[in-house]
Amino acid sequence: MSSLDKAEIQKIAWLARLAIDEGDMAGYSRDLSNILKLVEQMNSIDTTTVDPLAHPLELNARMRPDQVTESNQREKFQACAPAIKDGLYLVPKVID
Amino acid sequence: MHNHTLTELSALLRSRQISSVELTEHFLRRSEKYNANLNCYITLTADMALAQARSADAALRQGGAGPLTGIPIAHKDIFCTDGIRTSCGSRMLDNFIAPYDATVVARLQQAGMVLLGKTNMDEYAMGSSNENSYYGPVRNPWDQQRVPGGSSGGSAAAVAARLTPIATGTDTGGSIRQPAAMCGITGLKPTYGRVSRYGMIAFASSLDQGGPLARTAADAAMLLTAVAGFDPRDSTSADQAGEDYSAALTRDISGLRIGIPKQYFDANLAAEIKEIITTAVRQLERAGARVSEISLPNTHLSVPVYYVIAPAECSSNLARYDGVRFGYRCDQPQDLADLYCRSRSEGFGREVKRRIMTGTYVLSAGYYDAYYLKAQRLRRLIRDDFHTAFSNVDVIIGPTSPTTAFRLGEKVDDPISMYLNDIYTVSINLAGLPAISIPVGFVNGLPVGMQITGNYFSESRLLNVAHQYQQMTDWHKRMPAGFN
């Protein structure tokens, strides 16, 4: 498990929506394998009776009244978009 | 003028011995002059700063000023600033003009502080050397062939070289404390949830926390007082009011119980650093503190656990960068998948991609339990170690970093060696505790930092201990040569 081959790197890259150049493949394979090797030190301790800790202070999500608190700022927010038209975000054609 | 503390600057401004415009012009001049070498700033906001300084001077004249009114500050470029580019050190956000202010930015603006500019950082705060910035590395003012630490390297170097009186940073695994240590300044990571994360670009949301990089503990206390406190816009904000963190600075520390974790002083720690930390602890002992050895038995697992949890959260948080609504977009995408993959691959740098890939792997079907869940279980054990320790001691003291500042390029091709540099800092984030790094000496002309960790919401106590140490020593007054 601690060594990742090219096919696995490609699979991870696709899941992460990253395109990895052929020339960088060996480097990622080496670095990720080393990181997993470091991480596998975790197996030195048995944790079957320990509950996972997701939040350091174990706080619950705070609820608030369902009220409108923000105004519509579509134009301001779209000012930093790469491509828009008539208030819509443009992407390549999805359905033929 | 650039050697004054915040308290001194505040008094000078209020007695009208200097104006905010004069002060701002002075720091802008220094910033422009030295940035060519140090590369501390990604963006300088001179015109805006002078306009803010003029408003501050008006408030000072009319009597509507607070203690921070008219004092310049620099923000790490991870904090959103309305109308100003907020790059997060990444090509992905090179063209991103934030449409709103982070709560930290808004509160300090409200307090009358003057924004000089946005500081350089490791891309998306991922790094311990500031070499992962799209805008190039920051240089350490104590030795320009060396790194300033990271990820808040620009803020740390700017404060150390007196290019700004104070700066903000963020700390996910040591990113305030480690550069503060390597640049010889004071850096405080508050309790998780103490300072609002609203508008602070997310890296690992259960670990991220903002705080001050300052010259003295007293300066850090002034800044924390202005930014801390509940924020309804951050769902993980601690639901309790802030404090006046300056109030307890002068408290006597006799009877203070200091715990020294034996795991922090093993063979991995350079002998010269060990010696310096021991001397600093002895100084506190002379002031009446009582020292005992404690054990944090899972310390050796904190780096492995951190490098599962932080990348996992990063891979999820950074999924938002898709080339559609903001940020970098590749040229001529063939289809939607090509738009996503190429925008992300061209927009993110090497270390960010490494972490996204690691995080994606540990969260993927079939590996989630073995990596992510395992890490979360160990996270509880690491937190419980601190919990046990704090039933017997008030603060835990050790080194901030196992080495002084290393050479530029020295670790850049070896991510594991870079990660291991975080050994003393990451467990604090995993546990969500507050910790401060203060300068306590030098090895071969390079600053050494000492980390003081406290229980949840004990920032006042940490600042008190740090301030008392700084009353007895002058390490925090040392200044790198060549910046007079």
- pLDDT value at position A59? 77
Residue A40 contacts B, CB cutoff 8 Å: yes
The verdict on residue B46 lying in a domain is: yes
Q: To 5 degrees, how large is the angle CA B57–CA B65–CA B463?
A: 115
Positions of chain B with pLDDT lower than 50, given as ranges = none
Tokens standing for B372?
Answer: 């992510």
Measured distance CA(A19)–CA(B167) in Å, rounded: 37
pLDDT band at A94 (very low <50, low <70, confident <90, very high): confident
pLDDT tens digits, B157-200: 999 999 999 999 999 999 999 999 999 999 999 999 999 999 99
CATH number of domain containing B19: 3.90.1300.10
- pLDDT value at position A61? 78
Question: HEC profile for B195-241?
Answer: ECCCCECCCCCCCCCEEEEECCHHHHHHHHHHHECCCCCCCCCCCCC
The verdict on residue B384 lying in a domain is: no
pTM for this entry: 0.97
Q: Which residue has the tokens 């929506």?
A: A17
Task: State the nearest Cα–Cα gap between B472 and chain A, in angstroms.
Answer: 35
Contact A80 B326 (CB under 8 A): yes
- pLDDT value at position B79? 98
ipTM (interface pTM): 0.95
Tokens standing for B130?
Answer: 């500031």
Of B308, B345, B353, the CB nearest to A39: B308
pLDDT tens digits, B348-383: 999 999 999 999 999 999 999 999 999 999 999 999
pLDDT at A1 over 60: no
Chain A CB contacts of B97 below 8 Å? 79-80
State the DSSP code for B179. H
| Nearest by Cα to B339 from A74, A82, A87, A8 | A82
Helices (H) and strands (E) counted in chain A, each on its own, are 3, 2
Contact predicate B398/B423, CB 8 Å:
no
Q: Which of B360, B362, B363, B433 to mutate to test the interface with A (most CBs of A within 10 A)?
A: B360
The verdict on residue B266 lying in a domain is: no
Chain B CB contacts of A76 below 8 Å? 99
Full DSSP string of B323-360? SSSSS---SS-SSHHHHHHHHHHHHS-HHHHHHHHHHH
Mean pLDDT of chain B: 97
Residues of B acting as catalytic residues: 76, 151, 175
Give me the domain span that covers residue B92.
6-256+440-449
Chain A CB contacts of B240 below 8 Å? none
Find the farthest-apart pair of alpha carbons in chain A and give their distance in angstroms, rounded.
58
3-state secondary structure of B404: coil
The verdict on residue B332 lying in a domain is: no
Contact A53 B383 (CB under 8 A): yes
- B261, containing H or E segment: strand B257-261
pLDDT tens digits, A14-62: 999 999 999 999 999 999 999 999 999 999 999 999 999 988 887 777 8
Number of separate domains in chain B: 1
Residue A13 contacts B, CB cutoff 8 Å: yes
- pLDDT value at position A58? 79
Between A and B, how many CB-CB pairs are < 8 A? 164
The verdict on residue B246 lying in a domain is: yes
Full DSSP string of B405-470? PPBTTSSTT-HHHHHHTTTTTHHHHHHT--EEEEEEEEETTEEEEEEEEESTT-HHHHHHHHHHHH
pLDDT band at A2 (very low <50, low <70, confident <90, very high): low
Residue A84 contacts B, CB cutoff 8 Å: no
